[in-house]
């Protein structure tokens, strides 16, 4: 795997200087094989390799917008609760979140249609285009029959 993601140069990745500035790598989307209707928590201008027809950035406030169709969500890990509640209420999409001891995780565990624990060596892409791991385990969650099938067929790991 390359050290720097060549695609990142000039493609709207924004470094806000926070621990939330990590992006899902292209390999995840290639494995899923899904075109999403919207990325609800994108950096300004979206990310070029995320297969979403449109995106909401922090400027758009994705939490206050209407979510329509198949949703991709990799929310700020510093504040997942509201994002996860809206995702579960929407019921059609795939998200990537940290595994956490929290009430939203309790709800997720009881309501999620499919969950996948990403391997410990999973790496994200920084705003500088570098692949980098994080210290917390991450999961992918699917809601809706088509999204559950995509997660199951992705080959990314064991599905619960």
pLDDT band at 128 (very low <50, low <70, confident <90, very high): confident
Percent of the chain with pLDDT over 90: 71
Eight-class DSSP state of 6 = G
Most confident residue range from 1-5, 68-72, 96-100, 101-105: 68-72
115, HSE (Cβ side, Cα atoms, 13 Å): 16
Tokens of 20: 């939330």
State pLDDT tens for residues 31-76.
Answer: 999 999 999 999 888 889 999 999 998 899 999 999 999 999 999 9
Most confident residue range from 27-36, 102-111, 117-126: 27-36
Residue 104 has pLDDT above 70, yes or no: yes
Q: Which domains does the chain have, with CATH numbers?
A: 6-153 (3.40.50)
Beta bridge partners of 71: 38, 93
Global pTM? 0.86
Owner of token pair 């500088």: 128
- Give the separation between CA 28 and CA 105, rounded to whole angstroms: 22
Q: Which pLDDT does position 20 carry in this prediction?
A: 63
Q: Which pLDDT does position 50 carry in this prediction?
A: 95
Tokens of 81: 């609760």
- Give the separation between CA 160 and CA 142, rounded to whole angstroms: 10
């Amino acid at each position: 795997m390359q050290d720097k993601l060549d695609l990142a140069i000039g493609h709207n990745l924004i470094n806000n200087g926070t621990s939330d500035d990590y992006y899902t790598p292209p390999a995840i989307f290639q494995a899923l094989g899904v075109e999403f209707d919207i990325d609800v928590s994108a950096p300004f201008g979206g990310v070029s390799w995320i297969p979403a027809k449109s995106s909401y950035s922090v400027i758009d406030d994705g939490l206050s917008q209407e979510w329509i169709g198949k949703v991709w969500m990799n929310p700020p890990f510093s504040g997942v609760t509201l994002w996860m509640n809206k995702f579960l209420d929407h019921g059609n999409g795939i998200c990537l979140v940290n595994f956490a001891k929290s009430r939203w995780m309790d709800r997720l565990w009881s309501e999620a249609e499919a969950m996948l624990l990403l391997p410990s060596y999973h790496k994200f892409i920084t705003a500088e285009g570098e692949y980098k791991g994080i210290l917390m385990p991450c999961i992918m969650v699917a809601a809706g029959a088509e999204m559950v099938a995509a997660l199951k067929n992705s080959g990314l790991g064991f599905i619960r």
